[in-house]
Amino acid sequence: MTLEPFGARLRRAMDERGALCVGIDPHASLLAEWGLDDTVAGLERFSRTVVEALADRVAVLKPQSAFFERFGSRGVAVLERSVEEARAAGALVVMDAKRGDIGSTMAAYAESFLCKDAPLFSDALTVSPYLGYGSLSPAVALARESGTGLFVLALTSNPEGGEVQHAVRADGRSVGATMLAHLAAENTGEEPLGSFGAVVGATLGDLSTYDLDINGPILAPGIGAQGATPADLPHVFGAAVRNVVPNVSRGVLRHGPDVVALRDAADRFAQQVRAAVEAA
C-alpha cells in the first residue's frame, strides 16, 4: 500500500509534535561523552537510547548513515533496527545519506532507502544534486510512487559550499537558487505541503534575495552547537518559516545518556521553535 505523501505526513507531525528534527549522529567523540566505547555495542546503545527517548515525541529523527556505515555490516544492521523502531514509535525518519549519482546507480541508491520493502526504508532521504538536478530523476520518481520525500542540498551552511551553490549561471541565477526553483516546480499544487524539500543552513543569515517559497519543507541544520538559535529562524527564512524543520543534533544529544534529559532538551528546542514561528 502506498503511503500518504511525505509532505502531508510531515505537515501533520510538525503541527502535532512541533517542528523539530533531531539528528542521530554517533560519532566517536559523542560516544565517549556518553561513556560508551567506539564499538558496535556502543553504537547500538547510543542509537537505541536516542530512539527510546525521542521517537514518540519529535516530528523527525535523522540518522547520519556514515556514522553507522563505518562499522561495516554490523553498523548497518544497527541502523536498520533504529530506523524500524523510530518509525514504529511515530517519528518520521529522514535518512541523511546525501546520495547523488546518475542513471541506474541513482536508482539503486533510491531503492535502498525509499523502496517500501528495503531494510533501510525511510520516510525521506537527503540527496546531492550537483551532478545536475536531472540526475535525481530516479529518486524523484520513486519518492512519488512510494509516498516518501527528498531533501535536496541547496544552500548548505558549510563554508566550502559557496563555491558551487553561489556560482552564477549564464542566466544570471545562482546554482542554489536554481535548485530551489526545481523544487518549487516539483511541489506545484501539492497540499498541504509538497514532499520535495531543500536543505538550507540556519546559519546563513538573511536569505531574502532567495525565493524560499518552494511549497515544500526546508530542513535547516545549524541550530545549537553551530551557532544558530530558534529565534533566528524568522530572520533567515522569512515568510517560509512555517515550513522550516530545524535540525538539532549535539544541542540535544549532549544531554545523554539520560533519557529524561534528552527528552527535556528536545522539548525545550521544540517549544522555542514554536514560539519563534508564532511570533513571526
pLDDT per residue as tens digits for the range 171-227? 999 999 999 999 999 999 999 999 999 999 999 999 999 999 999 999 999 988 788
Please check the confidence at residue 1 and state whether its pLDDT lies above 90.
no
How far is 223 from 250, CA to CA, in rounded Å?
9
Placement of cell 527528552 in the chain: 263
Q: Which residues face 21 on adjacent strands? A: 60, 247
How far is 35 from 25, CA to CA, in rounded Å?
15
Put simply, whether the predicted model's pTM sits higher than 0.95 gets the answer: yes
Centre a 10 Å sphere on the Cβ of residue 166 and count the other Cβ atoms it contains.
Answer: 12
Let me know: does 42 contact 31? Beta carbons within 8 Å: yes
> Which of the 8 DSSP states describes residue 210?
S
Let me know: does 150 contact 125? Beta carbons within 8 Å: yes
Domains in the chain: ranges and CATH: 6-166+195-204+213-223+242-279 (3.20.20.70)
Active site residues: 98
Please check the confidence at residue 11 and state whether its pLDDT lies above 90.
yes
pLDDT digits 0-9 by tens, 31-81? 999 999 999 999 999 999 999 999 999 999 999 999 999 999 999 999 999
Let me know: does 233 contact 273? Beta carbons within 8 Å: yes
Nearest to 71 by CA among 117, 115, 36, 114: 36
How far is 98 from 89, CA to CA, in rounded Å?
25
